[in-house]
Structure formats: structure tokens, C-alpha cells
Amino acid sequence: MLRRAIPRTGETVPAIGLGTWQTFDVGPSAAARAPLAEVLRRFFAAGGRVVDTSPMYGRAESVLGDLFAEVAPPEAPFVATKVWTTGRAMGEAQMRASAQRLRTARIDLMQVHNLLDWESHLPVLREWKAAGRVRYIGVTHYAPGTFPQIERMMRDEAIDFVQIPYSLATRDAERRLLPAAEATGTAVLVMRPFEEGALFRSVGTRLLPPWAVEAGVSTWSQFFLAFVLSHPSVTCVLPATSNPEHLTDNLRAGAGPLPEDRLRRRMADELRRP
């Protein structure tokens, strides 16, 4: 699988990760968890590492902690989670609880979820990073309207990661945020690459154009993910799924050639075609 470097350190991670919003918020039954265990087995077997979650995602952190122990990945996962509360004391308590649920003494990436009370949390994240309790720190937000603030934080707060929406349909990040990430040496995680399924609905039953197939893309999932990954500032994209077959399809986008500028423009035109 394609790997990308984290600019601050040069450490590389696989460019296709795994999101857990909604998909990993399940109960304890074997029937509910079996497909998720298979998703993780396939993900790790294909070389995947980056798994993103949050205490906002219901039971997802606990489910991941349980399934990591069950699946026993061959390489330690790169676990990203978030702090999503207000105040220093509540933030520290929440981060400790996340580590317990994920069954880890050190979290790879701790992010301030949706910038909630970031002024209180970022100093704590820096302290935890200095103490070795987290390896990287960052911020997230789902709304392009926050991009100017995130850009200022990349320039002024020396954060390691940002997590933002970016897709064929939501390209606001291309104007300033992705260039700023390159300029500041900030890693970029991409959420919602399928627009929560809206991209699939927009193409309906339409077949892939022949030129996409000739370029090595065999499904719409790969089409959408390849576009995101072809931007050089993107470190890792985080499609979420509970379906093992969809997971396998998603991962193939990280194995083939990525489109260059001319093909990216053609992909964007294809999405606008009625």
C-alpha cells in the first residue's frame, strides 16, 4: 500500500486508514462484532495501520480495544482518537478513559475534536506529548467554515496533524488549507471522502467511464479515494465501513497508480456530468 510521511518526523503511515464513526458503535453481541473483526483482520493483513475514533462515537473506542486484543494485528495500529469536552480536568479525565478503553498506555495521535475548547486542551496535549503519553497532537473539524481558524493554528500552534473533510464534492481545502499544510509541515487526515455515501448516490447505477478503468480504477470507491489521495498534501484518508468487502475495495485505492492533474480534472468533470 502507498505510504505517506508525517512531515514533523518522517515516520511513514499507510495512506488508507479506517474511520469508525457510526460503523463501530455496536453492542457486545458476537453477531454485531463479527464483521468488524473481519474488517480489522483484512485491514491489518493488507498493511493498514491508521485507525481513527473518538469518545463522541458511542462505544467505538471500547469495541476497538476489545477487537484489537482479539485480532492481534501483526504491527501495532496507529491509533488516533480525540478529546471532546470542555475544561482541563474533564479533558484529562476523558483522555485517560480513552486510553483505558483502547487498552493502550500511549496514544499515537490525540486530536481536539471539532476544535471544542481547544485553548484549554492544546497546552495539555503538549504536556502529554512531552511526557510520552501521546506521540502526536492535532485538531479536527467537519465544517469548511473553520478552515481559516485551522490554518492560523497550523501556522501559530505547531500542531502535528489536522483532520478535515475533502472529497470530489467538497474541495474547499484545496484553496488554502492543503497548501498551508505543505508549507507548515502539518500532516493531513481526511474524513468523509464519500460524503457519507452521497457520492455513491450521485453516480447511481452509472458505469465507470472507460478512461478511468484504463487508468487502473475498477470501482467508484476507488475513483473517489484515488482523487483524494492524489493530492500530495494528504497523508491518510479515513473511509469508514463495517463491511469487509467494502474495506477490501477501499484498500485497493492505495495500491494502484494515482491520477495526475489532467486526470484529476477529468474526474471532477465526471462527477458533475448529469
Flag whether 257 is in a domain.
yes
pLDDT at 14: 98
How confident is residue 263, by pLDDT bands cut at 50, 70 and 90?
very high
- Residues 130-155, mean pLDDT to the nearest whole number: 98
Flag whether 185 is in a domain.
yes
**Residues present in the chain in total:** 274
Whole-number Å distance between alpha carbons of 39 and 15: 17
Q: Which residues pair with 180 in a beta bridge?
A: none
Flag whether 1 is in a domain.
no
- Residue of 212, 188, 192 lying closest to 271 (CA atoms): 212
Flag whether 5 is in a domain.
no
Q: Is the pLDDT of residue 252 over 80?
A: yes
pLDDT at 71: 96
Grid cell, residue 71, equals 485480532
pLDDT at 103: 96
Nearby residues of 100 by Cβ (< 8 Å), 6 or more positions away: none
- Residues 199-203, mean pLDDT to the nearest whole number: 95
pLDDT at 273: 83
pLDDT at 189: 98
- Residue of 247, 229, 230, 153 lying closest to 190 (CA atoms): 229
How confident is residue 63, by pLDDT bands cut at 50, 70 and 90?
very high
136: CATH: 3.20.20.100
114-123 in b/e form (b: 16+ CB < 10 A) is bbbbbebbbe
Q: State the chain's mean pLDDT as an integer.
A: 96
How confident is residue 17, by pLDDT bands cut at 50, 70 and 90?
very high
Flag whether 4 is in a domain.
no
pLDDT at 80: 98
Q: Is the pLDDT of residue 256 over 90?
A: no
Whole-number Å distance between alpha carbons of 66 and 68: 6
- Residues 118-127, mean pLDDT to the nearest whole number: 98
Grid cell, residue 23, equals 460503523
Flag whether 6 is in a domain.
no
Q: Is the pLDDT of residue 272 over 90?
A: no
pLDDT digits (tens, 9 = 90+) for 146-196: 999 999 999 999 899 999 999 999 999 999 999 999 999 999 999 999 999
**C-beta of residue 33 within 8 angstroms of C-beta of residue 26:** yes
The 3-state secondary structure of 175-196, one letter per residue: CCHHHHHHHHCCEEEEECCCHH
pLDDT at 175: 96
pLDDT at 274: 76
> Based on the structure, what is the number of domains in the chain?
1
| Domain membership of residue 54 as a residue range | 13-272
Flag whether 154 is in a domain.
yes
Flag whether 165 is in a domain.
yes
- Residues 121-149, mean pLDDT to the nearest whole number: 98
Q: What percent of the chain has pLDDT over 90?
A: 97
